Structure 1
């Protein structure tokens, strides 16, 4: 008999989180240990050639910093802030990504690095990052990103659930009881995002106070300073999210719900509103052991998840079988 063990340093992978206004890239070994990283402020609306051009250059820089060759790179995982057809890696009608619709993201990156390139939406990779880093023994988890938009990454039976067309978890465009005829950017009315997304909260607080907030960060700052109107607005946002999430808890029965995204910085006031409705409206059995918690990984959840996605591909039975067949 012989004992075999994985050598995690034998190959490396790239994880990239390309957000609306930022880009974060890490180089890790096959255990997920970070070897090098790069961060850049940039706008996703600059277009795929500009953003992915920076990414390709950053990958080369990280490999040199870690003294690794491109032949040691095994895969690249990328998260994008919009709907993605996971099988092809192409964004599909992404609302904040002009010029990206059906763009061949893997094809452009593979011109420089001939390795598998996996692409998914940002909420899915955040769910993977949070799961692997903080809830490794959990088989059923939901990650809720609350920011400009609202979405969910769903882990069920230890598997990421993307749905038939990759749109599973799009909570932001579910109609909520309080929504009425409030218009949403998707063309419908009464959507959760139109009530509880970042711009909606800034507008709601302006209506209460006569202020001139232009972003959700202003709302968060006021909540942290103890402003009663801001706390009222963020607490109601939590209740609205809870209305939709209560149905998800009954339907999917997760054991952990993680709240992340920029608005999670509002802390316990948002969580309290969510918990208030979920625990009241969901089935008692579904909430008996349910935990609703803030994200621990924070801003690193996405890039960590992108790395996990790449590592999972490299170590999958199919990839190992392919590699063994092609070995001399």
Structure 2
């Protein structure tokens, strides 16, 4: 085992040694030396530096082979606290988590994203401050992660032309948040965070996963090679604005050039139902009607799934994921949306790409988004370079 790690891992500083302890397993300095190939004296000094940061702590003694039992150290997830905020079109969830991604407290409220950035952010920051006080975690705050329902330039944290977020375009979210919490603030598209959260909760061993959110908008979070893929500017996964290929199986006119969001989102399904004389205004109405057994709503939701499938078939052929997870408010209507997606994806994708492909419903619930935000922040604050800086601080 030790030789395998030495063959694949280059450990040079305290930050790299810390990565070996992030799995929660307590180890002695001798075991760390064996894993890294470094001298025991070098490992000892770096472990001592990590102990001063609080990121690791003593974890009892190992079995003695003669003489004094060696001390073990382990990751200390309570060394820091993260604020996670998941903003949807009509809701907001705020959570407080430790560095091990354990949610310590959370609160969800109805909140219209169209109120604008300052009103929305003030509301969720007030919730965050209250939760921090309740968990007695204010002094340990290390970062804030925020997911928003629109395109984000991840490097700057600014929403860019978000279609359902009036007033948010180019708003400097990190600077605004740092007026309240002076820590690193990371902002991403909410679907990317849902992908990270779902991956951690249910598919940690799967390197290639796509999360599809079907709600007020439609988007995809792409994990390839175990890492979230944002693209050059952060717009990767914006399948909602892909024009849906025409199919002779579809009731749409061949000249219909609308994009996927305009055809298969919750509001789009509701629009189709109103044309059929069914009272529906949004995703919640669609879900309620499907659950009540309304035939028109069931048929419209399944057809929306087929339209999503037309776009996803191309994605499957191009990226070859192992799992596609379907989430968002419309997916809560049950199997009808998934059935439509599966029907088209398995028919239109190449056999090799679908041979072991699973298309499944999200199980992350309301916590997947905030969990993804926690993971996003922890990837920054627990990165080797950041830990090295902490460990070398006077």
> In which range does the TM-score fall when normalised by the shorter chain?
over 0.9
Taking only aligned residues, the RMSD between alpha carbons, in angstroms, comes to 1.5
- For 1:295, the equivalent position in structure 2 comes to 362
Q: Quick check: 2:84–2:145 contact (8 Å CA) kept in 1?
A: yes
Deviation string, structure 1 residues 141-185 (Cα, Å, up to 9, x no partner) = 000000121110000001100111111111111111236444xxx
Choose which of 60, 65, 75 in structure 1 pairs with 2:143: 75
Deviation, structure 1 residue 68: 1.9
**Does residue 47 in structure 1 map to residue 47 in structure 2?**
no
**Does residue 87 in structure 1 map to residue 87 in structure 2?**
no
- For 2:328, the equivalent position in structure 1 comes to 261
Q: Quick check: 2:262–2:268 contact (8 Å CA) kept in 1?
A: yes
- For 1:283, the equivalent position in structure 2 comes to 350
Query: Equivalents in 2 of 1:231, 1:108: separation in Å?
Result: 43
Deviation, structure 1 residue 55: 2.5
- For 1:251, the equivalent position in structure 2 comes to 318
Deviation, structure 1 residue 97: 1.6
Q: Quick check: 2:263–2:304 contact (8 Å CA) kept in 1?
A: yes
SS at match of 1:120: strand
Query: Equivalents in 2 of 1:109, 1:175: separation in Å?
Result: 36
**Does residue 175 in structure 1 map to residue 243 in structure 2?**
yes
**Does residue 105 in structure 1 map to residue 179 in structure 2?**
no
Specify every segment of 5 or more residues in structure 2 that has no aligned partner in the other structure, as ranges: 1-27, 30-71, 247-251
**Does residue 227 in structure 1 map to residue 294 in structure 2?**
yes
TM-score (norm 2): 0.78
Deviation, structure 1 residue 54: 2.0
- For 2:196, the equivalent position in structure 1 comes to 128
Choose which of 242, 245, 261 in structure 2 pairs with 1:193: 261
- For 1:27, the equivalent position in structure 2 comes to 96
Q: Quick check: 1:129–1:304 contact (8 Å CA) kept in 2?
A: yes
Deviation, structure 1 residue 12: 1.0
**Does residue 117 in structure 1 map to residue 185 in structure 2?**
yes
Q: Quick check: 1:127–1:155 contact (8 Å CA) kept in 2?
A: yes
Query: Equivalents in 2 of 1:318, 1:58: separation in Å?
Result: 32
Deviation, structure 1 residue 311: 1.5
Deviating beyond 3 angstroms after TM superposition, the runs of 4 or more aligned structure 1 residues are: 178-182
Q: Quick check: 2:199–2:209 contact (8 Å CA) kept in 1?
A: yes
TM-score (norm 1): 0.93
Query: Equivalents in 1 of 2:229, 2:237: separation in Å?
Result: 9
Q: Which moved more, 1:171-180 or 1:277-286?
A: 171-180
Q: Which moved more, 1:114-123 or 1:224-233?
A: 224-233
SS at match of 2:245: coil
Choose which of 218, 221, 230 in structure 1 pairs with 2:285: 218
Deviation, structure 1 residue 322: 2.6
Q: Quick check: 1:181–1:190 contact (8 Å CA) kept in 2?
A: no
Deviation, structure 1 residue 110: 1.0
Query: Equivalents in 1 of 2:134, 2:382: separation in Å?
Result: 25
Structure of higher CA gyration radius: 2
Choose which of 357, 372, 375 in structure 2 pairs with 1:305: 372
Query: Equivalents in 2 of 1:230, 1:113: separation in Å?
Result: 45
Which structure's relative contact order is higher, taking Cα pairs within 8 Å and 6+ residues apart?
1
Deviation, structure 1 residue 298: 1.9
Q: Which moved more, 1:257-266 or 1:297-306?
A: 297-306
**Does residue 146 in structure 1 map to residue 214 in structure 2?**
yes
Specify every segment of 5 or more residues in structure 1 that has no aligned partner in the other structure, as ranges: 183-188
Deviation, structure 1 residue 207: 2.3
Q: Quick check: 2:214–2:326 contact (8 Å CA) kept in 1?
A: yes
